[in-house]
Chains A and B, each alone.
Chain A
Amino acid sequence: MKLSVRDLGKSFGRKVVLRGVDLELEKGQAVCITGPNGAGKSTLIKILSTLLRPDRGEIRMDGENPFENPRIFRRRMGVVLHEPMLYPQLTARENLEYVCRIYGVDGKKAEEWLERVGLSEFAEERVEHLSEGMKQRLAIGRAMIHSPELLLLDEPFASLDARGVEMVIGLITEQVSRGGAAVITSHMSGLLEGVVSRTFQLQDGRLV
């Protein structure tokens, strides 16, 4: 998916969080956005996922404005936010099976992705009993299970151990080589060297 962002602005009350963000992304490209806490990285991801509306600016996905028909565009994205969007009282497997149902994807993928994120052993554990790292892995599985064209990952490495980090990098690399795109925010931009084509700093509400 081709992504084009121009002059994106967003404020919360008096606080100006994004002040003119520009970004271009082609198929098969990944970018990393880094910056201090509170810089607005999460806000940017939320806006790109169309869950949040910007105050000004323009977003184009494959030439169209996603906010005009958000439902169609949302299905083509895989999103990981700060909140894992998992039901704590369901098991890992049940969570993924549920996601398969609502995305209209074959239920067998749940098993496949449990394997890929290294949680097969914990498939029948309730999410509330999983560690933060495992929840994060599951969340990433949840985001990718429907083969999205665009990955939006907000701090995907949070709580992950070395193997987890390796897994995520592998998945992002695969996404890119498949022709998909990815926008990743992370403090640890170093980890993504070689995977992403560009790294930006979100400073003062702008990407540099």
Chain B
Amino acid sequence: MIEDRADRALFSATGAALIASFVLIALAPEDKTLGVVQKIFYMHVPSAWTASLAFLVNFVGSLIYLIKRDLRWDRAASSSAEIGVLFGAVAIATGSIWARFAWGVWWTWDVRLTATLIMCLTYIGYLLVRSLAEGEKRRVFSGVIGVAAFANVPLVFLTIRWWRSVHPVVVTRGGISLDPMMKLAFFASLGAMTLFYICLLRVRVKAEELEERIRASRGGQGA
């Protein structure tokens, strides 16, 4: 899979970034109240961010595919959706663990957490369509869902935020005042995770390409 120079550079950079961010996370001071558990924050927020990025890429890919019918965009869209759901699940899981240690509850109806959950469910629907349909139908149907799903995002955030403001909830996330080392660790983690996403996307798209070639040579309609 690691074919050309660009890929090699990408993977090396990602590896380096990941290592660097682990180091920085380890070195970052522990939060006074939460202790070492607070460090899960370095995984939680970047995962949520990366998931959103992945869903944005899916939206763009779906839209361009519907307009141009260029298979590369469809591959990018579907791969990105898979990775997005993965990162989203990580975000939800880490958010849940953090909530448990920080506030004693497994779930807070925090805006971002709830919205991420809804988005994950939406894109699981997208992936369901992809597994149930074949050929051009599959690409068009999932493309339509991809566009509708992302268009929904602003209203989801808005309604959840307003919904929450009516329900004073046990916990508020609040801004975490980060000291410089924490900030550094955070941004390093964010950068590393974004690079990681790009790597995963690259790998997944290539795998999808190979799968299509295999299907085409077998004469299957799934190509």
Contact = CB atoms under 8 A, between A and B. Distances in A.
**A touches B in complex, CB < 8 A:** yes
Secondary structure call for the A interface: loop
Interface in A173-199: none
Contacts of A12: 221
Contacts of B221: 12-13
Contacts of B218: 14
B220 interface: yes
B168 interface: no
B175 interface: no
B140 to A, nearest CB: 13
Interface string B110-133: 000000000000000000000000
A12 B221 CA distance: 7
Interface in B195-223: 218-221
Interface residues of A, number: 3
B36 to A, nearest CB: 56
Nearest to A14: B219
Interface of A: 12-14
7 contacts: A12-B221, A13-B219, A13-B220, A13-B221, A14-B218, A14-B219, A14-B220
Nearest to B134: A13
Nearest to B221: A13
Interface of B: 218-221
Contacts of A14: 218-220
A200 B220 CA distance: 31
A182 to B, nearest CB: 31
Nearest to B222: A13
Nearest to B136: A53
A13 B215 CA distance: 10
A172 B218 CA distance: 44
A13 B222 CA distance: 8
A14 B220 CA distance: 6
A155 to B, nearest CB: 25
B143 to A, nearest CB: 18
A13 B136 CA distance: 12
Nearest to B135: A13
Contacts of B219: 13-14
A107 B218 CA distance: 52
Nearest to A12: B221
A13 B221 CA distance: 5
A12 B219 CA distance: 9
5 nearest CB pairs, A to B:
A14-B219, A13-B221, A13-B219, A13-B220, A12-B221
A118 B218 CA distance: 51
Contacts of A13: 219-221
B136 to A, nearest CB: 9
Contacts of B220: 13-14
A14 B219 CA distance: 5
Nearest to B223: A13
A166 B41 CA distance: 80
A12 B220 CA distance: 8
A194 to B, nearest CB: 42
A13 B218 CA distance: 9
Nearest to B219: A14
Nearest to B215: A13
A12 B218 CA distance: 12
A14 B217 CA distance: 9
B137 to A, nearest CB: 13
B35 to A, nearest CB: 59
Nearest to A53: B136
B134 to A, nearest CB: 9
A13 B219 CA distance: 5
B73 to A, nearest CB: 21
A14 B221 CA distance: 8
A145 B218 CA distance: 45
Nearest to A15: B219
A18 B221 CA distance: 16
